[in-house]
Amino acid sequence: MQRGSRSNRLLDYWVGIPILRIVAVLVRAVRGKRLWPQKVQRIGLVCSPALGDTILFAGALQDVRKRFPEAQLIHICMKQNLAAAELLDGVDRRVIVDVTQPGETIGRIRGEKLDVLLDFSAWQRIIAFYTLLSGARFTAGFRTAGQHRAAAYDLVIEHRCDRHELENFRALVQAVGISPGSDPRLRIPNVEVEPFLEAEDIVVFHLWAGTQAAIREWPESSWIRLASAISGPRTLFVITGAPGDKPRVDIFCKNARAQGVNVVPFIGSDRFISLSHLLKRARIVISVNTGVMHLAAVLGAPTISLNGPTDNRRWGPVGRWTEGVSAPGSGCGFLNLGFEFDGHPTDCMERITVGQVLTAVERLSKKASGGAGEKIATGSSR
């Protein structure tokens, strides 16, 4: 069930909880208490369908790969996170399921004959339900406050809201006896890149948040003022977006050009592959807190995240060169699982000033080594 769909979340809550509890009681009565198998050859892994979660999950995947180098790792993937799943390094097999089709999904997972299934999702009852009926000889997953899903697992790990999601993933692998600590790693296929990627100085802006856009996006005027402030003599600003964002990308580019900003749109046609090459070429990537931000940070691009309703400590970028800008004032940074908007401020992104972002650019430049920091801050040519 998606974070952005209130009706799906309500269905998952009111129908998912009683079904999960009843089925869990029946299943446990039949199979009893189970322990980690002595021989592990096929390990299934499933995570939230959110793109950012999938990218962060890449670190836990590396931990499992190191501990079981000879085992077959099977990623249970949904169409919503396929773009990120295609970049995961270390997966032997990808099984794509449609969570709205219970019979087909359960059959496909059971057909993998898993020894272990590790569930890295945090709140969806339906994924816990599929884990429960997966046929795996052992399962592990999260107990998340208020989500009523722990009955699905042989081993339950506390999912905490006071630490970064990457640390929650590491806690799960540690609980099953695997040493945690690997950074997320992705494998990017080679493709022909757009001619403008050869520009000397590329700055990437990602303006679009997908769900709850009005609350999670920064004003257009602030982006244009920021571009004017960090532009160098050869700077090319690239505005990224998904195919559904194209109308807004085109409008923004038109308005930015009218203000003298050298800007081009980029709508990838191969999901995250060409986008990844673009992000790796960028002098700096500035993004609202979303999957593209996580992708840029993990790929090693100097990345700044704009956090209004999102807490940087909970969902900030993970990478060598990263900075998070948070909204000033009280009441912001309230998102935990990604859908807790009711009753919270709606102006958090508007509170973020261009000056705050410029300060973050300067801080990021000081983190960089070998003179690259000055280039980050000033836009001097590479």
Alpha-carbon distance of 277 to 242, in angstroms, equals 15
Parallel, antiparallel, or unpaired for β 42-46 and 263-267?
Answer: unpaired
Beta bridge partners of 142: 157
Q: Tokens 């999102």 correspond to what residue?
A: 310
Amino acid 163: pLDDT: 98
Domain CATH number, residue 66: 3.40.50.2000
Q: What pLDDT tens digit does each residue of the chain (382 aa) get?
A: 455 567 777 777 777 788 888 888 888 878 888 999 999 999 999 999 999 999 999 999 999 999 999 999 999 999 999 999 999 999 999 999 998 899 999 999 999 999 999 999 999 999 999 999 999 999 999 999 999 999 999 999 999 999 999 999 999 999 999 999 999 999 999 988 777 778 889 999 999 998 888 999 999 999 999 999 999 999 999 999 999 999 999 999 999 999 999 999 999 889 999 999 999 999 999 999 999 999 999 999 999 999 999 999 999 999 999 999 999 999 999 999 999 999 999 999 999 999 999 999 999 988 875 555 566 776 654 4
Alpha-carbon distance of 120 to 97, in angstroms, equals 16
Residue 190 lies in a domain: no
Q: Are residues 167 and 278 in the same domain?
A: no
Structurally, how many domains does the chain consist of?
2
Residue 116 lies in a domain: yes
Alpha-carbon distance of 46 to 93, in angstroms, equals 12
Residue 213 lies in a domain: yes
CA dihedral 158, 159, 160, 164 (to 10 degrees): 130
- CB of 352 closer than 8 Å to CB of 306: yes
Helix or strand holding residue 305 (H, E)? strand 303-307
Q: Are residues 157 and 231 in the same domain?
A: no
Residue 260 lies in a domain: yes
Q: Are residues 238 and 313 in the same domain?
A: yes
- CB of 265 closer than 8 Å to CB of 275: no
Q: Are residues 11 and 153 in the same domain?
A: yes
Q: Are residues 212 and 167 in the same domain?
A: no
Residue 35 lies in a domain: yes
Parallel, antiparallel, or unpaired for β 201-206 and 155-159?
Answer: unpaired
Q: Tokens 């994924």 correspond to what residue?
A: 127
Q: What angle do CA 292, 345, 289 make, to 5 degrees?
A: 10
Residue 169 lies in a domain: yes
Q: Are residues 66 and 123 in the same domain?
A: yes
Q: What is the pTM of this model?
A: 0.93
Q: Are residues 248 and 321 in the same domain?
A: yes
Q: Tokens 């403008």 correspond to what residue?
A: 196
Q: Are residues 205 and 158 in the same domain?
A: no
- Tokens standing for 324? 């998070």
Amino acid 8: pLDDT: 72
Amino acid 47: pLDDT: 97
- Tokens standing for 286? 């500035």
Residue 32 lies in a domain: yes
Q: Can you give the residue range of the structural domain that contains 358?
A: 195-378
Residue type, 361: V
Q: What angle do CA 346, 337, 323 make, to 5 degrees?
A: 70
Residue 111 lies in a domain: yes
Q: Are residues 287 and 318 in the same domain?
A: yes
